Amino acid sequence: MREKLLALAALQKVDTEVAALKKNADGYPKDIGELEKQLAVAKAAVDAERTKFDELEKQKLTLEQTIVEDRDKVKKWEGRLTEQRSTREYSALAREIDIAKKGQQTMAEEVIELGRQATIQREVVRAKDAEFKEKSKGLVEKIDALKQKLAAAEAAVKALDGDRESAAKAVDATLLKRYDVVRKKRMPAMSPLVPPGVCKGCGMNVRAQFYNTLVASKGVETCPSCSRIVYAQEVLEEPATK
Ligand SMILES: [Zn+2]
């Protein structure tokens, strides 16, 4: 019976190790996601400033094209000015030309203003981009470190697969089935009883009789409180007789 207990204890040791590794790595994907989100937010902030700059440049270009087109139009009008027969027609066209020229003046001023804004915005983009590069360097380093840790934990768990398999093979089949059922609900699934009969898993004090029976049988029982597989601690503590 004691051998059965030892085999199960060995299996539980592997399972505990795997569980600890998994628990340790549990937060990594969430942490990685959080950092990646920060990176995306920082990137979006730079992109937004860059879009503002592009927008200013586009407005400036459109306005410059309008000015060129307008200038051609005025030139044509000016050519037609001499062809006007009546004073009324002449002054009407002259007024149109005057209005158009004033409009050109306004647009030219706007072009200068847009250029000024674009220059300022270009600096904003440059500063934000530098800030982002600095920040992203740190974030990417953190993300990479976490990814490495995650991979290492996964590799460690995988490495224990073989250990688990051979440890499970050594456990009595009925006991293994029972253990696996309890294990899904609570870890550790097997827990020692310490004198005078306290379950280490849940702290429940069972009857002394219950404990004494386990000492004598060197076997296992189910804790009435937490349903863990329990055994008398001293059974595994005593030196092997074989
Ligand atoms: Zn218990």
Residues 147 and 54 in one domain: yes
Under the banding of pLDDT at 50, 70 and 90, the label for residue 241 is low
Q: Is residue 105 part of a domain?
A: yes
Residues 53 and 123 in one domain: yes
* Domain total of the chain: 2
Show the tokens assigned to 210: 């219950």
Residues 154 and 36 in one domain: yes
Q: Is residue 6 part of a domain?
A: no
pLDDT tens profile 129-158: 999 999 999 999 999 999 999 999 999 999
Taking alpha carbons only, the member of 234, 242, 230 closest to residue 3 is 242
pLDDT tens profile 180-238: 999 999 889 999 999 889 999 999 998 889 999 999 999 999 999 999 999 999 998 86
Q: Any bridge partners for residue 205, and if so which?
A: 198
pLDDT at position 242: 47
What does the alpha-carbon distance between residue 94 and residue 106 come to, in Å, rounded to a whole number?
18
Q: Is residue 1 part of a domain?
A: no
Domain range for 138? 22-161
Mean pLDDT of 56-67: 97
Q: Is residue 198 part of a domain?
A: yes
Q: Residue 209 C-alpha to ligand 1 middle, in angstroms? A: 16
Q: Which of 161, 184, 209 is the last residue of a domain?
A: 161
Residues 47 and 133 in one domain: yes
**With 60 as the cut, is the pLDDT of residue 240 above it?**
no
Q: Residue 224 C-alpha to ligand 1 middle, in angstroms? A: 7
**Residues 56-91, buried b or exposed e (16+ Cβ, 10 A)?**
bbeebeebbeebeeeeeebeeeeeeeeeeeeeeeee
Q: Residue 175 C-alpha to ligand 1 middle, in angstroms? A: 17
Q: Residue 174 C-alpha to ligand 1 middle, in angstroms? A: 20
Q: Residue 9 C-alpha to ligand 1 middle, in angstroms? A: 16
Residue 77 maps to which CATH number? Answer: 1.10.287.1490
Q: Residue 232 C-alpha to ligand 1 middle, in angstroms? A: 12
The verdict on pTM exceeding 0.85 is: no
Residues 54 and 138 in one domain: yes
Residues 157 and 202 in one domain: no
Q: Residue 24 C-alpha to ligand 1 middle, in angstroms? A: 26
Q: Which of 114, 135, 161 is the last residue of a domain?
A: 161
Residues 126 and 37 in one domain: yes
Q: Residue 97 C-alpha to ligand 1 middle, in angstroms? A: 99
Q: Is residue 116 part of a domain?
A: yes
pLDDT tens profile 150-196: 999 999 999 999 999 999 999 999 999 999 999 999 889 999 999 88
Q: Residue 161 C-alpha to ligand 1 middle, in angstroms? A: 28
Residues 61 and 123 in one domain: yes
- The kind and range of the H/E element at 151 are helix 87-170
Q: Residue 214 C-alpha to ligand 1 middle, in angstroms? A: 14
Residues 127 and 79 in one domain: yes
Q: Which of 101, 127, 161 is the last residue of a domain?
A: 161
Q: Is residue 209 part of a domain?
A: yes
Reduce the secondary structure of 58-126 to three states and give it as a string: HHHHHHHHHHHHHHHHHHHHHHHHCCCCCHHHHHHHHHHHHHHHHHHHHHHHHHHHHHHHHHHHHHHHH
Q: Is residue 194 part of a domain?
A: yes
Cα dihedral sign for 15, 20, 24, 30? positive
Residues 103 and 151 in one domain: yes
Residues 55 and 151 in one domain: yes
Residues 57 and 126 in one domain: yes
Q: Residue 199 C-alpha to ligand 1 middle, in angstroms? A: 5
Q: Is residue 228 part of a domain?
A: yes
